[in-house]
Structure 1
């Protein structure tokens, strides 16, 4: 299903570990862009549901697009949410932007490759999907959900510890 929030679980875990070296907003923006093509197919009934956008070559293109568009959208979002660093708007470094977008697009292809039979992650080199059924869909959903819960616990636990020290 397009725009599934379950993809955010691993992103939350990565954010909790990398902290300021990873943008969860940019990761999420990339998830949305990844699923625009399947959404169009669902609406129109035409095309390959998980087509080019769900290949690793497509993931590279989408990561670059997501990074270039998402940096300023994310910084605007942080400003709207009034999240500042030393009373100045937060600026996201370009390397963080690209890292977050590439992790987002590549993880999206991997996760969808495990559960969707029509994903061809290594197209045009091969149509085979060796990730399909690597683990059950139920287990995949649990891994994503639990990684998000563990990530949130780590993130807020570290914040709590930092506030106690200061």
Structure 2
């Protein structure tokens, strides 16, 4: 992806499907962590643009880091946004790890489709079987449309649940 926000589209769709079993904040934090190494290369001009951080081995290590730091950062972020008043929302560790691993592995997969320098299975194999699987334009549309559809679906499910809870309280 040319920049991290496009990775959020599939994350929004996953959030719509998994609801409380997925943390979009941890997923987003993982996207940021994944792109730190390429950002450093772009700034310094030194190193391999999509190096070890964009392999499944590197993504595994970064997912662990993202989960361990992202749980608390996300809970603080929800509080700052006014969505976690009185610190009642606690993100379960299993949700944190699931979200971080989905974020890291999807990041490598999506970037593998469009970046020729990416070696997702390094150090075991240098071949990138995903390169060119779909066009870059189709990949960008997939990310944008999945975010739009996911957003609509998420808020639709929220409204349905809200009405269902109102009926149950009567």
Is structure 2 residue 125 aligned with structure 1 residue 117?
Answer: no
Instruction: Look up the match of 2:71.
Output: 71
C-alpha change, 1:68 and 1:3, in structure 2 (3 Å) is farther
Distance apart, 1:163 and its partner CA: 2.3
Q: Matched residues in 2 for 1:2 and 1:114: separation? A: 12
2:75–2:84: 8 Å Cα contact kept in structure 1? no
TM-score, with length taken from structure 1:
0.95
Name the count of aligned residue pairs.
Answer: 165
Q: What are the within-5 Å matches in structure 2 for residues 33-112 of structure 1?
A: 33-84=33-84, 88-112=87-111
Deviations 1:53-79 (A, max 9, x none): 000000000000000011100010111
Q: Matched residues in 1 for 2:97 and 2:84: separation? A: 21
Instruction: Look up the match of 2:134.
Output: 135
Q: Matched residues in 1 for 2:2 and 2:98: separation? A: 23
Distance apart, 1:3 and its partner CA: 4.2
C-alpha change, 1:88 and 1:71, in structure 2 (3 Å) is closer
Deviations 1:117-160 (A, max 9, x none): 00000000111001000000000001111110110010011112
Distance apart, 1:164 and its partner CA: 2.6
- Which structure 2 residue ranges, 5 or more long, are not aligned? none
CA RMSD of aligned residues (A): 1.3
Q: Matched residues in 2 for 1:42 and 1:159: separation? A: 40
- Which structure 1 residue ranges, 5 or more long, are not aligned? none
C-alpha change, 1:2 and 1:39, in structure 2 (3 Å) is farther
Distance apart, 1:10 and its partner CA: 0.4
Q: Matched residues in 2 for 1:114 and 1:3: separation? A: 14
TM-score, with length taken from structure 2:
0.93
Decide which moves more: 87-96 or 51-60: 87-96
2:41–2:48: 8 Å Cα contact kept in structure 1? yes
